Structure 1
Amino acid sequence: MSPPSTIAFDPGVPDGTVLWSGNLQTNYRSSNASTGGYVCPSSAFNIHFEGTTPYLGNNLYTTGIPGISYRFKMTGPTTGPIIYPSCFLQKYFPHICWINELGAGMTNHTLSVELIKTGSITGGGALSGVFAHWFVQLGRSYATYSWGGSVVIQPTIPTCKVSMPSIAVRLRDVNVNVFTGVGKTSPSQPFDIVLQCSGGNTGTSTDVYTTLTDQTDPSNVSDTLSLTKDSTASGVGIQVLNGTTVIKYGPDSSAAGNKNQWKAGSTGNGTFTIPLTARYIQTTPSVKAGTANGRATFTMNYQ
């Protein structure tokens, strides 16, 4: 199968819409064994026509891309006679034909391939390898259909930028007597990371992931932010929370799957707000009063 290297579409169309279709022309040399063709011995057996990916029902097979499925149909020969055409022509996969005599071979024919929208599409992907086959005995393919290389499937999804790249969080003065033991915390103070997202087709969304990095100690992967070197207090650190979850720090990287990267949510076009809170936490048995500042960066990843 040799479609365009990239298949782009509007993912906001209704479920059941054909996003792309194409015809695959087979390339059998002939049905004559003496000229190097493909021949089956005379026999009686079932030929199964199926996709090689999980079957979803209703003649649909998964592509591995959420919201997009395959549909296949053999539409006819391009040259020469075809054996038992009424058995499998114009039939969607999966299909079974009972063959009680096949002493020649299969001539060139056409397979129609369709990509169907079957649900919410939140991202793209790629198609590659074998996607359908015939078999007589499971595990032994008589014919296979495959993509000619990797085909990129790309809906237009939103991209985002940070509204305010620098955010100052005031933790306010805290009496040292609040810290009566390791793990004791001060009242939390709220702040937000705000994104402006645009450019996506109707109905698309992007998953927003975030990594916080300790700028005083970039190797820190705990859930407590170090105090800056100019801080005069000791015995405390700073925690940032997303809801009730204390966020751990990780390397300053936007790579997907970065250590301690966390999912902030999903968004379409428009404003997306990530609500957070910050607080002090006691880290040693004794606390010394003074200034207690921390500095972290946040790095976004969109999927």
Structure 2
Amino acid sequence: MPKKLNCFPVLFIDYVRNENEPITTLLSRIVARVRLQKLAASAPVSMRTRNGIKKSFVWKVCFALIMAMVAPQAFSACRFAFTSQLLMVSPGTVVIPSDLPVGSELPITTQWNGRGQFTCDYPYPPTGLYTYGNSLTIPLTKAPGFSDVWATGYPGIGVRMYSYITGQPITANPTTTPTLGGPMGGGSPGLYFMYSIISAASNAVRLIKTGDIPSGTFPSTLFATDFAQSAQAPAFGYLWQNSNTRLSTWTLGSFTIASSTPTCSLSTASATFDMGTLPATSFTGGAGVAYPVWAQDQSLISGGCNASTVSMTFAGIAAAAPYSNAFANQGTAKGVALELWQKNGLQAIPNSSTPINFAPQGTGGKYTFSARYLQTAPTVTAGTVNATVTVTVNYK
């Protein structure tokens, strides 16, 4: 005969239990049917396995227990360990190349000091999966021209943060995680949680050039705050739920910024071409025809250069049109002008604002030029030939 319950009042529930079904699951199913039952002054409760064999033991399902199951659930006790994430920039003085393109990462690394965490009391064996959610707020605005970089307040420097969920830059503010799952830890009851939408990878926070960066001191800057939202565990439900609990802050530590100023120099102040002595009658091509023989190449010698680009412009007296791409002869010969060329490259045009670019040369390197005559009249008359060209070197 089924065993009678000793508590009062009770419910009459004749329910079939599946083999190996946890008690908590069974109770949940019982609660689902409680509204269909009528209270009785005294009633037995019996349980049968699916194969119909009656158990000799019966759980005492009291009305008070059922009421506890349907009442609002009390959360577990949780203890928070707030962490202030301080990202230290290495090296302490950052030298930023002047030619670093906008959008590039600054040449730094960051080191941080752990993550916020909390522990919740949990009376069941810690097995299965727990779920949790959290959010991140960013007290910054987007850097102009960028969808995934946040302005730090220091001119030309923005911060890009990467999500540990997607591995992609964080673009929303606030950013909220979906409900995530993870394995429960083994051992004694209790749960250990760690929250951070920002990835734990060493390169998860990167500084980006967003414009011109002046030299100076980057001030300590708060750029994100983590808020824990909820945590759930199997067979218990919510361990904790509160969207306003600050778990960690993220701050960039102060560091020094030094703009790299390139320098270039020349060890030679001038270069002279020996155009040789030629008979006037050797110019037979007619006006606009260059003499077929080049003078020996000459070079300006570098005294050292750490720039990424070098360019030159050339000033002097231009020959009369239509030969104004050549330098006018300042000597006594008539009907000739002088052309100056970058060796195996472009022609140096008198007074042009368009520079000729050269590969930067280290100490002793050469910026080499070629020169030749240009006939500017049908007949060339004998005399001296000379022209002076002033070269302006630009680098960055």
TM-score w.r.t. the length of structure 2 is 0.40
The structure with the greater share of residues assigned to strand is 1
Which protein, 1 or 2, shows the higher relative CO under an 8 Å CA cutoff with sep ≥ 6?
A: 1
TM-score w.r.t. the length of structure 1 is 0.50
